[in-house]
Homo-oligomer: A and B are copies of this chain.
Amino acid sequence: MKVTDVELITFACRAAGSVDSHGHGHPGPEYDTRASLFHISTDEGVDGYCLGGSNTTLHLARQLVVGEDPMDRERLWQHMHDYRSSHIDGDIGVIDIALWDLAGRATGLPVYKLLGGSREKVPAYASTMCGDDLPGGLDTPEHYADYAEQCVSEGYRGFKLHTWMLPYSADVKRDLAACAAVRERVGPSIDLMLDAHHGYTRREALYLGRGLEELDFHWYEEPMYEGSMSSYVWLQEQLSIPLVGPETIGGLFHNRAEWIVNRATDISRYSPGHGGITAMMKCVHLCEAFNVGLEAHGGGHATLHVLCAMGIPGEYYELGLLHPQHDYSGYSPYLNTRIDRIDSEGYLHAPQAPGLGLDLSWDYINKHRV
């Protein structure tokens, strides 16, 4: 089989929300936007798709993927990675995910079975937007507790607070107050996690971590800038609560290896955005060699398939980002069905269609193509 062409399908859609000065999303009004779908076609009529992609994705794929056997995922991955540029890890990810989708469609298998299935469903935790000052939103500890109670009543088995980050003023005492209010409201049986302002000092991060230990939190993410691995080594030495990371820094799974062997983390973190399913599976296997779990960052089809193929935790699927004043469900008209709907017990189920199981609405996409 040969890749004959790649294209980026761009189409108009509606979204809702606002982005603050520091890049964090919040509820907001509807607006017009565009979405994209990366498409690989072959001489055997088999296609591969991944939502997302940019002109860089297209350029990279035209250079290195067109004319090649799409089943040579490892060779193509290494070839793209030869650029050694963290700026294109996301583009490599889109191409690699589309190649996995293609392989699944070619073989009739959902991606997680192609990888070697491990489980059929994964529990999801509700992951909030960052703190804000919207009345009745995520503006006070009490409102975090209200929202956690709502999420638990919907079936979620875990709840992760993103608390206040810039431009809202970050404050470990207010963070802890929100965490305490949530714990008090949902009781001891719900797993709670915190992803706090990423710019605390070591002393602030330690104070916050000790508070979370008292509240029996399940894990603790990224209280400090991750460029300083040493800060996490320092923090881990003094805390018993699991530290989960790194999330945002580059260096792919190689850097996760450094964090593990330097004892900067208890549980690693990865998403297919860092070089695709191929790269994420390398990270999963790295973690397994050290008996370290890996929590997936964010959601999406590729992430769900990896979670259902991993033999180690990956305990949870991160579902969000959620907010009491934001309708998360309304804005994917290009998908006939969404995968991120929990069942009554809080689980997401692996799509069973061949490939990623993207249930694309071609009616919508063709009608809104730009």
Using CB atoms and an 8 Å cutoff, list the residues of chain A in contact with chain B: 69, 71-75, 77-78, 103, 106-109, 113-119, 253-254, 256-257, 261, 278, 281-286, 288-291, 309-311
Contacts and interface: CB of A to CB of B under 8 A. Distances in A.
Contacts of A311: 74-75, 77-78
Contact of A69 (B114, B117, B286, B290): B117
A72 B256 contact: no
- In order of increasing CB-CB distance, the 8 nearest A-B pairs are A73-B116, A107-B107, A285-B285, A282-B285, A257-B289, A72-B117, A74-B116, A74-B118
SS of A interface (majority)? helix
Copies of this chain, whole number: 2
B116 A72 contact: yes
Contact of A72 (B69, B113, B278, B281): B113
24 contacts: A71-B113, A71-B117, A72-B117, A73-B116, A73-B117, A74-B115, A74-B117, A74-B118, A74-B310, A75-B118, A75-B119, A77-B116, A103-B116, A107-B108, A114-B114, A116-B278, A253-B288, A253-B289, A254-B288, A257-B289, A281-B285, A283-B289, A284-B285, A286-B289
Contacts of A77: 116, 311
